[in-house]
A and B are shown apart, each in its own frame.
Chain A
Amino acid sequence: MLKEISVLIQKELTLEWRQKFALNGILLYVVSAVFITYLSVGAKQGNISSPTWNALYWIIILFSAVNAVAKSFVQEHQGRQLYYYMIASPEAIILSKIIYNTGLTLLLALLGYGVFSVILGNPVHDQGLFLLNLILGAMGFSASLTMVSGIASKAGNNATLMAILSFPVIIPILLMAIRISKNAMDGLDWSVSADKLISLLAINAIVAAAAYILFPFLWRS
């Protein structure tokens, strides 16, 4: 099982590397989205209040993550999916995709964080907590978005469907992540955020478990 997953993740990485335009496209998407936000709010450096910074940051990460993960079941055509269906177990496929998309979302989040810090200023006081929160948020985003993109791909895969299916499901994760990152920005003690971190982890676990159990049924159809 573990070997299967690692092979599948390697496959995802090679595939991504061969189609660099997709990765580059999504990276550019983040940068342009941040820049549009910067111009729209008309903020000079440090002029923007930290709750607004936080909200804008997470909204951009949400939209880029939706776009990045949406392609995870599309980029391979039907014939190849049939091939995977024969050689790999559905559990290994969903886990490998979730892990891979976690990495991808985390990459986007870090890039977004970098660009945000450069042009909108960096109000974060507690870097450690902020990064931990990014990792947990990326895990939650990727678990729910991977599953939803699997569902949307079965339904003709239009972008509207992906958005309306994923947004409500992702809101609990997003809200927790925004609260923790607010705490990190204010530099509050870790004990304040501890229960929120645990709830975020618990929500991630619920979503990932649901995806793990349900994916085989989706894959079979």
Chain B
Amino acid sequence: MRQNWWKILTILLLLYTLTAGLLMDVPRLPILNETIRALYFHVTMWFGMILLLTISVYFSIKYLRSNDLKHDDMAIEFAGAAILYGVLGIVTGMLWAKFTWGDYWSGDPKQNAAAIGILMYFAYLILRNSLTDSQQRARIGAIYNIFAFAAFIPLIFVLPRLTDSLHPGNGGNPGFNAYDLDSKLRMVFYPAIIGWTLLGGWIATVRVRMRRMERTIEDRMINS
């Protein structure tokens, strides 16, 4: 029970996000209208993705320092959860963009950067699968994971800020900060970030346990 408090917290936070996010009053802004609720389901995906990737990189570094495969399990599964969030982020973003900007894809710098980031991590998965030896796979995967993260951060934080983006808050578009993010939206937004990130961590840890069990079973089969 003591170890499971955060799972209960996740469920409560997400229930709160779903109900409050869909039912609570939101500020009326031109163009955005009701789609401002995407803040709870789309923007939070990116926050969750970046947090999960940071955790993944942390475990990759730990792996390189210790050569212990259990850190590598964590690194790959957290990266996997982050990729899931990245894909969901792109899909929800495209849906939202269809109703606000008129197109699924409008070549917005943030959209492009997100797509490139996803490509980077798909490449990470392919690189891992192309290696057969598990120690080698873990080591080279960890190296690329850290390297890709170092390139990913300027991609999403620096480059989109240099050009005008269609995203709210950029290039003269109405932003959230300028209006009501301080009060009503924040009351759901922050819990939503925590909730989604915890859910990602939950998915990752379940998969890590599966991975470790599979390895134990394999070892037992080899040794018996």
A residues in contact (CB < 8 Å) with B:
144, 147-148, 151, 154-156, 158, 161, 164-165, 167-172, 175-176, 179, 195-196, 199, 202-203, 206-207, 209-211, 214, 217-218, 221
Contacts and interface: CB of A to CB of B under 8 A. Distances in A.
Contacts of A169: 120, 147-148, 151
B131 interface: yes
B102 interface: no
A221 B123 CA distance: 21
B117 to A, nearest CB: 7
B32 interface: no
Contacts of A221: 135-136, 139-140
Interface stretch (B18-26, B153-161, B171-179, B194-202): B153-161
Contacts of B122: 164
Interface of B: 64, 116-117, 119-120, 122-123, 126-127, 130-131, 135-136, 139-140, 142-144, 146-148, 150-151, 153-155, 158-159, 162
B159 A176 contact: yes
15 contacts: A147-B147, A155-B140, A164-B126, A165-B123, A168-B119, A169-B120, A169-B147, A175-B159, A196-B162, A203-B151, A209-B150, A210-B150, A214-B147, A217-B142, A221-B135
A207 to B, nearest CB: 6
Given A161-B127, A172-B151, A207-B151, A151 B143 contact: yes
Given A217-B139, A218-B140, A164 B151 contact: no
A206 B154 contact: yes
Contacts of B154: 172, 199, 202-203, 206
Contacts of B153: 206
Given A168-B116, A221-B136, A151 B127 contact: yes
Contacts of B162: 179, 195-196, 199
Contacts of A147: 147
A220 B139 CA distance: 10
Contacts of B155: 171-172
A161 B151 contact: no
Nearest to A164: B123
Nearest to A173: B151
B63 to A, nearest CB: 10
B151 A168 contact: yes
Contacts of B64: 217
Contact of B143 (A167, A203, A217): A217
Contacts of B158: 172, 199, 202-203
Contacts of A158: 130
Nearest to A170: B151
A215 to B, nearest CB: 8
Contact of B120 (A154, A161, A168, A207): A168
